[in-house]
Structure 1
Amino acid sequence: MPADRPPSFVDVAVVGAGAAGIAAARALAQAPLDVVVLEARDRIGGRAHTIDINGAGLDMGCGWLHSADENVLADLAETEGFAIDRTPPPWRSQAFNHETSPGDQAAFGAAFAAFDARVAEAARRGEDGPAATLFDPAEPWNGRIDAISGALNGARFAEVSIQDYDAYRDTGVNWRVPVGYGRLVEHLGAGAPVVFQCPVSRIDRSGPVLRLETARGVVEARAVILTVPTGLLSTEAVRIDPPVPDWLEAAAGAPLGLASKLHMTVTGAEDFPPDSQLWGRRDTADTAGYHLRPFGRPMIEAYFGAGLAWGLEAEGQAAFFAFAADEFASLLGSGFRRRIEPVAASMWGADPWSRGAYSHVLPGQAGARSRLKAPIENRIFTAGEGTSEDFYGTAHGAWMEGERAARQALRRLGLGPPPEAR
């Protein structure tokens, strides 16, 4: 149960109550240990966050159970009685043919598949430069491909490592939780020993026990599981003393990009096929993707990525709607402006406990994720989507990494099997 203040001493301190932190806490709960979860926010979930608008759960962060046929959170959702929506995702189709004909759509699909194949081949050769170097200069769809990178990576392909992008594993099965992914993670964290509004600023590793300096006092621990986003690690918003240069370099090599959402209501929604998609411009990466009528609701969920998202966020939430309204007016006529109203926009870049949406590895930094999760003195264990080598950028990748860190902590404390016995 949540507590007002942390205990002065625990066996394991988990820093962060997002998916990785909750997974770690649940795994540790099976052992005879004193555990605390120190969370800077006043809620569970981290970048899995659902808000309620007129009875509808709107996911401001993660919203898809990616690779659902292998996703541990999909299994847990069903076990816990959460309904699962298996409607196919909209992103491989186009709602209207105003700007993109069926032939154009097929050409775009072929262009993206060819780009992916070039990336895979370069990765097999051991290359690790910017994925954008593998664009075909004569390909007219490069702008759209790079716009999608904003949604996939939170960054343009010029900032994405060939090796890391190729390492992502996608089974192509994508489901959703209608009541909200954030609510699922929050439910799974119910009963965890969380102390809210308790950010950790420093972990002193100079003594025989670890000393965590928090906003609510000092906590000493035999082991720490650190699950905060990479941006807070590389900037030492959570500082480890003495510092670990290779670990800091690895965190800097896997920074957080930005993918932002804007939820809107729309009148006359029956004009749109449910769970369909519309993209804006095709000649630039500075365009947004629009999920029309998610779950059949009279709403639109807009996605903005990379530099476009950072720029609009810097202007404030209203800028997201202004941009979307302009794109819709261009695509569907100026009268469409009167049919949409903004509901909520995410601001993960401005959030001091996130500073971005999810991680990507920079060109030339292949291996940053594995270096980041290497234990520090076998008593500080880093976990999160940023340490997941094949499911990075996802809540289930973070969850699996939290469980991995918990196993390492249990072995450190003499309560788990050795690695070779797993």
Structure 2
Amino acid sequence: MPRNLPSIVDVAIIGAGAAGLGAADALKDSGLSIIVLEARDRVGGRAHTIVPAPGIVFDLGCGWLHSADKNSFIAIADRLGFDIDKTPPPWREQSFDAGFPATERQDFFAALDAFDERTKEAAKSGTDSAASLYLAPDNRWNPMIDAISSYVNGCELDSVSVHDTAAYEDTGINWRVRRGYGALIAAYGRPCPVALNTRVWRIDHSGLQLRIETSKGTLMATKTIVTVPTSLIANESIRFHPELPAKVNAAAGLPLGVDDKVMLALDDPANALPKDGNLRGATMQTRTGAYHLRPFGQPCIEGFFGGSFARELEDAGDGALAAQAIEEIVALLGSDYRRKLKPLAESRWARDPFASGAYSHALPGHAGDRAVLAAPVDSRLFFAGEATSSNFFSTAHGARDSGERAARDVMEAVRLPKR
């Protein structure tokens, strides 16, 4: 990683998340000089693996290789020697009948599947609308269906476009990286020329060269690939000169929802809880968590919260996610678990200054903003990131693939005859 910024490069890539690293990897043999500018002190963006206790691996950000049969990180993991765990996710299971017996689960998933079918039919119409309009009136499971949306989209259904949800490609195959998804992405980015702790303030595209102003000085570039989260474009943490109102408006139509995780150490020598089990909290309300019991067989429980409830827990301060998780688990499994559980770590993505959320969703009427955000400007400014993916948005591999797409566009633009 360079000690100092170069004064001029062919391609400057803004952001060292999966998209920026995907772009850098695709350009490595292009003959073009490149630099990746990253505001954090690490690569990976919203992918970050930590080891909060011996023997416990915790992905604070993305953790599942969604649509694994089409996920480009599978081949990368194989090349880099990362083992893939193909244990199916336990999301449609409940390891204990406490609070959610089998008969009720069957009824709930029938209601959820029927809702999904209604939204797919609605998406065939020309009018984009909120997914909440297709909840069955007075259905007892509507609050829990909204909770599922808070996990999947980072927000409740009244903020979700039906056209956008229909565009998402889910093959139903979900695997994991035993050493951590964030660790895999960090290893993928290791060969890339990254300048850490380098925050970009302004991109001036008024002259023949792009002028990029950063916390470590100014550099000039012929082409630039912007891969930062939509939140930073919408709130103009990065400014463009001349202004790009279409990009700012598109980013605002694709806000980041909030999803957070908490890791609890489990003192249970008898292993009373099943490996890779599942537990849901209060099933008749939206404000509830979901719990992955002993992931990979580790002595821990991973909790997951989404939407406005996750935001409220972040606002409540450090430890609020863990306290809520422990209360829900104790209510379901008994008071003995209060002494068996110890908070280890938790994420706070909405309060992360370089993300301000987890992953993007399209607001009702804004599904088309993904294509608007992805479009190049003057064959010099290119845009990538999970929010620009047409079918794998909100995923790490969607972000990586978009970076590769932007890199191809850069190389094509370089080959075009100069006017």
**TM-score, with structure 2 as normaliser:** 0.97
- Distance across 1 between alignment mates of 2:293 and 2:69: 25
1:20 matched to which residue of 2?
Answer: 19
Q: Alignment partner of 2:203: what SS?
A: strand
- Distance across 1 between alignment mates of 2:56 and 2:216: 35
1:333 matched to which residue of 2?
Answer: 334
TM superposition shift of 1:80: 1.6
Per-residue CA shift, 1:111-162, capped at 9, x if unaligned? Answer: 1110000000000122311101100022111111111111101111111111
More divergent stretch after superposition (99-108 vs 176-185): 99-108
TM superposition shift of 1:314: 1.0
- Distance across 1 between alignment mates of 2:362 and 2:237: 20
1:244 matched to which residue of 2?
Answer: 244
Describe how 1:5-16 pairs up with structure 2 within 5 A.
5-16=4-15
- Distance across 2 between alignment mates of 1:25 and 1:411: 15
Return the letter of the residue paired with 1:303. Answer: F
- Contact kept in structure 2, 1:56 and 1:179, CA below 8 Å: no
1:253 matched to which residue of 2?
Answer: 253
Describe how 1:205-284 pairs up with structure 2 within 5 A.
205-268=205-268, 270-284=271-285
2:320 matched to which residue of 1?
Answer: 319
- Contact kept in structure 2, 1:17 and 1:37, CA below 8 Å: yes
2:40 matched to which residue of 1?
Answer: 41
- Distance across 2 between alignment mates of 1:116 and 1:92: 15
- Distance across 1 between alignment mates of 2:366 and 2:246: 12
- Contact kept in structure 1, 2:386 and 2:402, CA below 8 Å: yes
- Distance across 2 between alignment mates of 1:49 and 1:148: 23
Return the letter of the residue paired with 1:5. Answer: N
Q: Alignment partner of 1:52: what SS?
A: strand
2:363 matched to which residue of 1?
Answer: 362
Per-residue CA shift, 1:292-325, capped at 9, x if unaligned? Answer: 1100111100000010111111112211111112
Structure 1 vs Structure 2 CA RMSD: 1.2
- Distance across 2 between alignment mates of 1:40 and 1:27: 21
Are residue 304 (structure 1) and residue 288 (structure 2) matched? no
More divergent stretch after superposition (110-119 vs 48-57): 48-57
Describe how 1:398-409 pairs up with structure 2 within 5 A.
398-409=399-410
- Contact kept in structure 2, 1:16 and 1:37, CA below 8 Å: yes
Describe how 1:118-129 pairs up with structure 2 within 5 A.
118-129=118-129
Q: Alignment partner of 2:357: what SS?
A: coil
TM superposition shift of 1:242: 1.1
Return the letter of the residue paired with 1:144. Answer: M
- Contact kept in structure 1, 2:233 and 2:247, CA below 8 Å: no
Describe how 1:119-268 pairs up with structure 2 within 5 A.
119-268=119-268
TM superposition shift of 1:337: 1.3
- Distance across 1 between alignment mates of 2:229 and 2:28: 23
More divergent stretch after superposition (329-338 vs 170-179): 329-338
Provide the identity percentage. 48
Are residue 388 (structure 1) and residue 389 (structure 2) matched? yes
Per-residue CA shift, 1:225-265, capped at 9, x if unaligned? Answer: 00000000000001111111111110000000110000111
Displacement over 6 Å in runs of 4+: none
Describe how 1:336-351 pairs up with structure 2 within 5 A.
336-351=337-352
TM superposition shift of 1:90: 0.8
Return the letter of the residue paired with 2:368. Answer: G
Q: Alignment partner of 1:413: what SS?
A: helix
TM superposition shift of 1:386: 0.8
Return the letter of the residue paired with 2:24. Answer: A
1:58 matched to which residue of 2?
Answer: 58
TM superposition shift of 1:415: 7.8
- Distance across 1 between alignment mates of 2:335 and 2:102: 24
- Distance across 1 between alignment mates of 2:110 and 2:318: 35
- Contact kept in structure 2, 1:16 and 1:227, CA below 8 Å: yes
Per-residue CA shift, 1:63-94, capped at 9, x if unaligned? Answer: 00000011010111012211010000010111
- Distance across 1 between alignment mates of 2:178 and 2:245: 43
Q: Alignment partner of 1:36: what SS?
A: strand
Q: Alignment partner of 1:406: what SS?
A: helix
Q: Alignment partner of 2:265: what SS?
A: strand
- Distance across 2 between alignment mates of 1:157 and 1:100: 23
- Contact kept in structure 2, 1:67 and 1:171, CA below 8 Å: yes
TM superposition shift of 1:348: 1.0
Return the letter of the residue paired with 1:17. Answer: A
- Distance across 1 between alignment mates of 2:17 and 2:184: 11
Residues 1:56 and 1:298: Cα distance change in structure 2 (over 3 Å): closer
Return the letter of the residue paired with 2:177. Answer: V
Aligned residues: 415
Return the letter of the residue paired with 2:221. Answer: A
- Distance across 2 between alignment mates of 1:199 and 1:5: 14
TM superposition shift of 1:333: 2.1
- Contact kept in structure 1, 2:118 and 2:134, CA below 8 Å: yes
- Contact kept in structure 1, 2:56 and 2:300, CA below 8 Å: no
Residues 1:29 and 1:415: Cα distance change in structure 2 (over 3 Å): farther
- Distance across 2 between alignment mates of 1:5 and 1:38: 11
- Contact kept in structure 1, 2:63 and 2:177, CA below 8 Å: yes
- Distance across 1 between alignment mates of 2:23 and 2:398: 13
Gaps in structure 1 of 5+ consecutive residues: 417-422
- Contact kept in structure 1, 2:55 and 2:298, CA below 8 Å: no
- Distance across 1 between alignment mates of 2:307 and 2:318: 16
- Distance across 2 between alignment mates of 1:90 and 1:163: 28
